Chain A
Amino acid sequence: MKCNELNNLIDDYIAGQIEAGVEKQISDHLTVCIDCRERVRQYKEYFVRMATFNAPNLDSGRSARILRLAVEEGEKRIAAKKHKLSFMRGFAAASILAVALLFGVNTLNTSNPPSEIVSMYDWERDISLVIHVPNDMDGALLVLDLPDDISIRGLEYLAHIEWPVDLKKGSNVITLPINIEPYAEYAEQLTLAASIEYKDKKRDFMLDISLASPQTGKHSQLFDASAALFNNV
């Protein structure tokens, strides 16, 4: 037997799981090869050392506690995933349904009122205007005239605001962070005057904002622009 052959069999040899004939060959080799004899000795010592290593047992109480905690945490994560999924579905559905303003270049060329569907929904006191256009309208000017009851957060002193927007073909969502005055909850309906100017053409719109009953709910929930408008969708 050669040294490299013994190397391949050393595990089985030390474990005593080797055929008698082969074991004899190994023994013969070890009597004449000092290096292999030393290697076998080191391996035996190694296995003796490793045999002293015993991981502690997990008692049934700890085992049950770990399992129970895992189940509780697992339930929480599953619930969180479901909540996130339902929120995303709801948000996607709202985005699809909330077509706020149908505005096309072709409608600018006619004196007939545009076939507009106006819709808004409240989300943490933000109004989302969804403007649908059939073609790209870069540099269109969006103008809003705010009623006394509503102001843009951070720009409370402005009753009139206008800014250029690059509208892309399809739906464009513009989020307005608004504040509603406390007394606004007693108003049945608020109106936001809006217009879009594009290539020397201007179109005015009146966007109705309906409020929920002032007697119920928190202030942040009173702004319920979506309900009446979604009914038509």
Chain B
Amino acid sequence: MTQVVSFFKRQSSGDSFEEVLAPHMNSLFKQAYQYTGNTQDAEDLLQDLLVELYQKQDKLHTAKSLRAWLMRCLYNRFVDGYRKKKSAPNFDSLHDEYLANKLPNDDSPETSYWHKQVLAGLSLLSREQRMVVCLHDIEGHTLAELSDIMKIPLGTLKSHLFRGRRILQDRFKLQPFDDCVRL
């Protein structure tokens, strides 16, 4: 009976699993990349999330704000699944063939250099700090939005953001200035 009900629910929702998720794949991948620091781990994280979501399609089709829900799922998956790995970003991946073709502004050595420095700085942050720094300072979400999306109190997010920024700023201070960047 449950299967019959879920069958009709799925039918009524209209779109297939792939159709529902395809529009969100790029933003989810970017978010995963910001969390993991390299393309391979980002793909693995995204893959793990999708496999999990496939088994919970009822929730997928009934989520009120799908984008926000997916962002939260990805973050939770990142915290759960990658806590064990404790892997630092693989900076060699910056030079892999795929990334070399995909990085925006990849024609600028300076951009590539600072991209690498930001990645290295992000690896110093806790997962909570990394999440809020990426989504707030890079993706442009407001703290109020993030509080709603991640179901984390606003004050806690502010605290993570403040500490994360300070770590990054301290790291950036240690780098050469623009006019003497070692490339």
Cβ contact of A73, chosen from B43, B51, B103, B105, cutoff 8 A: B51
Q: Which residues of the other chain, B, contact A124 by a CB distance below 8 angstroms?
A: none
Check A66 for interface membership: any CB of B closer than 8 A: yes
What is the distance, in angstroms, from B1's C-beta to the closest C-beta of chain A? 15
Cβ contact of B99, chosen from A45, A56, A64, A67, cutoff 8 A: A56
Cβ contact of A66, chosen from B17, B43, B165, B168, cutoff 8 A: B43
Flag if B54 contacts A74 (CB, 8 Å).
Answer: yes
Flag if A49 contacts B25 (CB, 8 Å).
Answer: no
Check B59 for interface membership: any CB of A closer than 8 A: no
What is the distance, in angstroms, from A6's C-beta to the closest C-beta of chain B? 15
A/B pair count, beta carbons within 8 Å: 105
Contact residues of B between 5 and 59, Cβ < 8 Å to A: 17-18, 21-22, 25-26, 29-31, 33-34, 39, 42-43, 46-47, 50-51, 53-55
Flag if A63 contacts B47 (CB, 8 Å).
Answer: no
Report A36-56 CB contacts with B as 1/0, cut-off 8 Å: 000000110111011011111
Interface size on B, residues (CB 8 A): 42
Interface size on A, residues (CB 8 A): 30
Flag if B103 contacts A56 (CB, 8 Å).
Answer: yes
What is the distance, in angstroms, from A11's C-beta to the closest C-beta of chain B? 9
Q: Which residues of the other chain, B, contact A77 by a CB distance below 8 angstroms?
A: 51, 54-55
Q: Which residues of the other chain, B, contact A49 by a CB distance below 8 angstroms?
A: 114, 117-118, 168, 172
- The 27 listed contacts between A and B (C-beta, < 8 Å) are A46-B165, A46-B169, A47-B137, A49-B114, A52-B105, A52-B111, A52-B114, A53-B119, A54-B105, A56-B30, A56-B99, A57-B29, A57-B102, A58-B26, A59-B102, A63-B25, A64-B22, A67-B18, A67-B21, A67-B22, A67-B50, A68-B18, A70-B51, A71-B54, A74-B55, A77-B55, A81-B55
Interface residues, chain A, with chain B CB atoms under 8 Å away: 42-43, 45-47, 49-50, 52-59, 62-64, 66-71, 73-75, 77-78, 81
